[in-house]
Amino acid sequence: MSEQGFDLSSAKMHAEGLSDLSIQQFRHLYETWSSGDFGGKVRESQVQPLKDVPRISEIHDTMDMDMALDAFSRTAFLKLNGGLGTSMGLEKAKSLLTIRRHKARRMRFLDIILGQVLTARTRLEVPLPLIFMNSFRTSKDTMRVVHQDKRFTPETMPTEIIQHIEPKLIADTGEPVSYPDQPELEWCPPGHGDIFSTIWESGLLDTLESQGIEYLFISNSDNLGARPSRTLAGHFAQSGSPFMIEVARRTESDRKGGHIVIDRKTGHLLLREMTQVDPHDRASAMSIHKHPYFNTNSIWVRVDALKEKLEEYQGVLPLPIIENRKSVDPTDPSTAPVVQLETAMGSAASLFEGATCVQVDRMRFLPVKTTNDLFIMRSDRFHLTDSYEMEDGNYEFPNVNLDERYYKYISDFDDRFPYGVPSLAAAKSVTIEGDWTFGRDVTLYSDAHLADQGVSSYIPNGQYVGPQGVEPDEWV
């Protein structure tokens, strides 16, 4: 790395008018990264598997709902909303992407989030403040929509805090990248672990305490399953824990994701990403029987405990560093390779004595990271209820693989499903290879497979697609 890499980045951040705390946080990230002391391996011998996590469905049956309602009345809801969805070719807040229609109305992530909060407020008569952590690129568009509803105008509680930004770094030298064609692409957010220093610098914790808020529920805006929950608020309050992570049971499709373990040395919870797994431990780490839970990235934290921890570290928690390698223009792989230095929110669990987990059902984990996920969300597998719940029969979804050449970006995806995505109710898996455009009322069933024809192809209205491709019209 260039010896002057941080100095150049620091000067750039000062010139941009960024705060001392954001520069201090970036210093921690940069120095850890440049020393090579990041993303260290967490060996299997160093951890214990997380076992016997209490299930929220069982907790609900014995919960004192009056106590739970009291805890819920002292809870605020914070949504991580800094993402642009560049992996899907979006150039605006991902939360403004249309998920599906409801009563002829286009429903975006944001519409559903607002509806979930209003439903909880109305049914349970709780204040439930809603706050977004926006990035410099999502704030304007998001707040324009939010403030159209007078029930979400800021009065005593802010409706947003702004995530920090930092320079993207040239992969080879560690110096800040220059991209004169689009200077805004020279910057990036420091990952969702930045939530803690952003909260600290914004003064939000003091505001929450002044309004009698004791608990903070934080989740991703692209996870529509992470709804406000009176039962979870009650369980968190009753547990006495300072920090609680919602986990779900791993399936075979979750084997390669991050999972929660217990540090043998400290006894604390530890978020272990697969990049931190030694090759010799890979089989054990990927075993869904040995390590049965994964992190949903939804957390509950006590306001006073978080305030005390941030005071201890002067606003910058010492979280593990994630090196995220991309191109300076994420939509153009031919542009310069860069490094983005990030941290993960869930990794803060290791800093809190007494941090716990709670096992939630799959219905609370419905993320949309790719157009494969969007394909399922827009299908007949889901029904959006009047209380803004994304409802499915069993929340066990077909494995979907769409050809990235033609379906990765949302504009290409929409072009190929002009009448909406096909029916998935009878599908076990879906594999689409090549360039296929779909007519109306197409049904996919069993292990549906379309092979690449080498040319643009069309599925006529009302056709059935199965393991052999498009079914013939005549009986054999």
Burial of 210 (0-12, 13-18, 19+ CB in 10 A): exposed
Residues with Cβ within 8 Å of residue 287, at least 6 apart in sequence: 255
- List the Cα angle 129/136/36 in 5-degree steps: 105
According to DSSP, the residues that pair with 101 across neighbouring strands are 106
Cα–Cα separations (whole angstroms), residue 424 to 355, 364, 398, 443? 39, 21, 8, 7
Contact between residue 199 and residue 192 where contact means Cβ atoms under 8 Å apart? no
Cα–Cα separations (whole angstroms), residue 79 to 85, 92, 146, 160, 347? 15, 16, 13, 9, 18
In terms of Cα–Cα distance, which of 268, 261, 350, 267 is closest to 309?
350
Rounded to whole angstroms, the maximal C-alpha distance in the chain is 74
Adjacency order of strands within the sheet including 322-327:
169-170, 337-342, 322-327
Q: Report how far residue 35's alpha carbon sits from residue 30's, in angstroms, rounded to the nearest whole number.
A: 8
Question: Which alpha helices (DSSP H) does 286-432 contain, by range?
Answer: 303-312, 371-377, 404-407, 410-416
Cα–Cα separations (whole angstroms), residue 389 to 10, 104, 228, 229? 45, 17, 11, 12
User: Which amino acid type is present at position 170?
Assistant: I
Question: Which alpha helices (DSSP H) does 156-262 contain, by range?
Answer: 195-202, 204-210, 230-239
- CA torsion sign, 98 to 100 to 105 to 109? negative
Catalytic residue, chosen from 94, 369, 408, 428, is 369
369 is catalytic: yes
Q: Report how far residue 290's alpha carbon sits from residue 285's, in angstroms, rounded to the nearest whole number.
A: 8
Residue 291 tokens read as: 């390590």
Q: Tell me which residues are annotated as active site.
A: 369
